[in-house]
Structure 1
Amino acid sequence: MNWKPEIDALIARQHENGGPFWSRSDGNIHSPAGFSTIDVMHTIGLLGGTAGDIPIVSDAVGFLETYQNNDGSFSYGKRKSKLPCVTANVLSVFGRLGVSQTDAADAAYAWLFPRQAADDGWRCATVKQGKSQEADASNPGTTMWVLDPCCSGKTTRKRPQH
């Protein structure tokens, strides 16, 4: 199926949130839910668009990379925390858009792997699951985003050892 009209419609709305590439005017790339930079780029990838085929998507990938911190993690805004769920979601976007074999992706995975939870998943610490040891577990969404590029065969070039 050809999803070009839908991809073109999303691209036409890239300034709707007030900032570049579906970001808000304050630079947030993770909000509003459902139509943020991360969400729209993920959707374009799910519809078959790639950074190699669509120049504006390639530019948007470059924009996303400006949110990478020196340690490899990604933040959703210029003054926001480093969260495994945001880093994992960006990695999923990279995989879907065909740009997961980059230095940026390698650094992000290198940051994520040591943060793996005892149950072998990943957790976004903003979710409060309780104070008991049994409640200190991974989040399904964060774990799925980490694994998504691996499952689709679009993994990083290097696999950090943990």
Structure 2
Amino acid sequence: MQTTVKLYAYGYSEMRTYPVALLFVIGNMALPQLLHLLPQGGMTWLPIYFFTLIGAYKYGWKAGLVTAIASPLLNSVLFGMPLPAVLPTILLKSVLLALAAGFTAERYQRVSIPLLLMVVLGYQLAGTLGEWILIGNFYTASQDFRIGIPGMLTQVFGGYLFINYLIRK
């Protein structure tokens, strides 16, 4: 299923980039707080990435990158999660997601389940490799593929619905 929606590419010099990014940062702060109430909620649902995907896909990689960096840092400082020890890998995956989503949207000028699946699998595979290099433990690095499948599916299908029906403007 494929839908053409209005996609934007906000730049760093445009003031509208920052209020948009702020909304997605707030979403990336609220959603993890809710899902961390569930046992292994963060590891299962990967909530810190959800609004980064949407922001980068809908408003461009630059707005996505602001969201990708600010969300984990603010969550860590304000709520203690992600823990400082895992912050580098969360930031790596967040940045990879923002870049993959923004460039995919720019390249294809449409949103579809296969494109979002490609984005999510792409950032997760590259992020797992990067995490493996950073921590030196493949079993730990592959945790998202062992535990986070529901989160990845939520990113693909929830992201598709969110981009197409909740922020159609």
Point out the structure with max Rg over C-alpha: 1
* Greater fraction helix: 2
**TM-score, length of structure 2 as denominator length:** 0.35
Question: Scaled by the length of structure 1, what TM-score is found?
Answer: 0.36
- Higher RCO (CA < 8 A, seq sep 6+): 2
